[in-house]
Structures are given as structure tokens and as C-alpha cells.
Amino acid sequence: MQTRVLPISDSSIHEACRILRHGELVAFPTETVYGLGGLGLHLAAIEKIFRVKGRPKTDPLILHLPSPNLATAVASGFVADPLPPLALLLAETFWPGPLTLILPKGPLVPLTVTAGNNTVAVRYPSCPSAQRLLQEVGHPLAAPSANRFGRLSPTDAAAVLAELNGKIPLILDGGPCPQGIESTVLTLTELKPTILRLGAITPERISSVLNQPVLLQSKKISAAMASPSPGMLAQHYSPQTPLYLCTSPIQAVTPEFQFIVFCETRLAVQPNVHLLAPDGKGETAARNLYRFLRQADGCSSAAILIDPIPDSASAPALRDRLERASLGTAHFQDGQWHLRTRA
């Protein structure tokens, strides 16, 4: 299959809708990462998503709603009635935006989407191109990140093409994603609101809106354990080159490795150094992280070493992804780097 890449326009959105209505898949931009979209109530399209991604059927998909109105989603049978009491408040506060809510599943949602669960993940993205697509198709789109399973999420059309060339008919190119890491996933189906995946919407913001603490699902869940949200697997979101987290700020670089430094421009003159956040801001680091990991991954080096992430609102989500993507830690001593692989 030939994969076309078309810039966002009326005609490319129209073409995307035509393809989607035939049960085929289209990759599209969101504010977080690119999604691999298919009609979310259409079994054949959903099966295709799992097949193309190589994703286990036990890992449920997010439904991207055609409108930010949760009451409409309930009336349409996407989400069950009654809504958990806090759901409307959260949707009104954070949608459009990078918050995924886990809610009781509506009768129209196939169990294949939810991996057999009676809950469904829903969100309404803030990216205008995604909104145009969703509104025109008028149907929820199931869309995981547009990468093969376990790999880095793509944050531009070239990265989607590198992942899925020949496997899908169309990629809508809306430029680089402004946020760069996946949405926060919050469940409202437990006794207390619980974050299953950290993202751009911080626990602090959510708890201040809810006026109560939110729980954070324990960080590492091994593949062998039953997982409430497979994005929580200890090993996930990985480049192919082994990644190591530096235990203190990088002061020296050596030629055999790729280095992702946070904002130390003095080091960035070397070709094997990638500068994550020249302005020192956490949100810039989030926007660039996957792109630089991909870039470094393509350099055929023995390992990628990354600076510690300084504190900021984005830091917990970034550190979470890096811990999952890394094999261990690195420290510089006696003129050389020492890599320690985690047990």
C-alpha cells in the first residue's frame, strides 16, 4: 500500500473522511502526538488498528469524540448513563485538551475498543486540525499513538511515516505537535480519581479543580502483572538504541554515544549532542523529547545518554516516560562514562 502524506486542508480532511468511512486508517495530528485513527464503532477498522500497530488486544484504545460535550457522548451511547459526578466538571475545565477520562462504557462502544473492559477512554483534543477531522467525520475515532507497539510516539508526520510507511493509506500532516507527550489518563471509575498515565495536565491542576487529592497509579507495573492501563508498563515508549539516564548534569561528552542535554548550549556544538530545551523550559523539553530520541536513535551509536530533567510542571511526566524508555543510569568518572543497567 502506498502511504500518502497530505498537508491539512479542506480537501485533505475530506479525503481522510472518505478513507475513514471505508473502514481504513488515517494518521492525524493532535496537540500531544500523532494518532492512528479509525472509526471507533466499526469493528473492522478497530481490528486494523491493532494489526497495523502490532498492539496486543489487551491494550484498550482512546475514543476521540466528535464534540467536547460529554452529555452528547452519553446520549449517543459512547459513554454510559449516569456519568460519574466529577466527569462533567473535568471535561468542562480541561476539554478541549490533553486529558483522557476513563468512564463507564456506553452501549455502542465495541468491547474490542476497550479490551473487554466495561470502561472507555475518551478525550476531545485541542488541536484544530484534529477537531476539523472529528467534526467532519461526525463519528468517534479510536486513535492510539501512531507508532508500532512499544516504540516512541510520533510527534511529526515524518516520524509517522518512518513507523507506518506502506501500512496505512494516508497521513495528515499538521506539522509538529505542540505538546509532544501523550495525554494525562485519569480514571473516574475507581473509588477515588486516579491518574493512570502522567501527561500535560498535572495532578495538581486536576486536584485543585476537584478540590480533592487525586491518586497516582503506582509507577511500575511489570508486563507479567495484570495492568489497569498498559501504558503503565515498566518498559514502554522506547527507542531501539539503549537509553541511560545521567545521574548528574552532563559536563563532558564522548564520541561513542549520543547525548541529549537539557539546556547547556556550551556542549551543543558537538554533532552528537542534541539540545532538548534551549530556553530551559519544561514544556519545550516535552515538545522536543520524542523527536530528539528518534534523531539520536537514528545515529547508530552504542547508547543514548540524557541529562536529568530539572523540576517544572512537565518534569514528572517527562521523567516517567524516560524511566520507562531507559535501561539504566549513566555517570561520568575518571574521564569516562559508566553505564549501569537496571536489574
Place of cell 446520549: 75
In Å, what is the CA distance from 332 to each residue of 20, 181, 340? 51, 29, 11
**Residue range at the interface with Mg ion (CB under 5 A); choices 95-103, 139-147, 185-193, 284-292:** 139-147
Residues in Cβ contact with 228 at an 8 Å cutoff, skipping those fewer than 6 apart: 187, 196, 217
Cβ pair 261, 275 in contact under 8 A: yes
Pick the closer one to Mg ion by CB: 145 or 183.
Answer: 145
**114 near ligand TXA, rule: CB under 6 A:** yes
Distance from the first to the final alpha carbon of the chain: 42
**106 near ligand TXA, rule: CB under 6 A:** no
**183 near ligand TXA, rule: CB under 6 A:** yes
Select from ligand TXA, Mg ion, none the partner in contact with residue 229, using the beta carbon and a kind-dependent cut-off of 5 to 8 Å: ligand TXA
* Rg (alpha carbons) of the chain, rounded to whole number: 20
Pick the closer one to ligand TXA by CB: 203 or 228.
Answer: 228
CB of 199 vs ligand TXA, minimal distance in Å: 7
Cβ pair 26, 37 in contact under 8 A: yes
> What CA–CA distance (Å, rounded) separates 252 from 239?
23
Laid out side by side, the sheet with 119-123 consists of 4-7, 170-173, 26-28, 35-39, 141-142, 62-64, 119-123, 99-104, 184-187, 194-197, 215-216
**178 near ligand TXA, rule: CB under 6 A:** no
CB of 63 vs ligand TXA, minimal distance in Å: 9
Site for ligand TXA in 196-215 (CB under 6 A): 196-197
Can you tell me which of 96, 106, 231, 242 binds ligand TXA, judged by CB under 6 A?
Answer: 231
Pick the closer one to ligand TXA by CB: 93 or 112.
Answer: 112
Can you tell me which of 32, 129, 202, 258 binds ligand TXA, judged by CB under 6 A?
Answer: 32
In Å, what is the CA distance from 206 to each residue of 33, 85, 126, 211, 313? 21, 14, 17, 8, 13
CB of 263 vs ligand TXA, minimal distance in Å: 25
Can you tell me which of 145, 179, 189, 326 binds Mg ion, judged by CB under 5 A?
Answer: 145
Pick the closer one to ligand TXA by CB: 62 or 318.
Answer: 62
Query: In degrees, to the nearest 5, what angle opens at C-alpha 318 toward C-alphas 148 and 339?
Result: 85
The 305-334 site mask, x for binding ligand TXA (CB under 6 A), equals ------------------------------
Select from Mg ion, ligand TXA, none the partner in contact with residue 196, using the beta carbon and a kind-dependent cut-off of 5 to 8 Å: ligand TXA
**238 near Mg ion, rule: CB under 5 A:** no
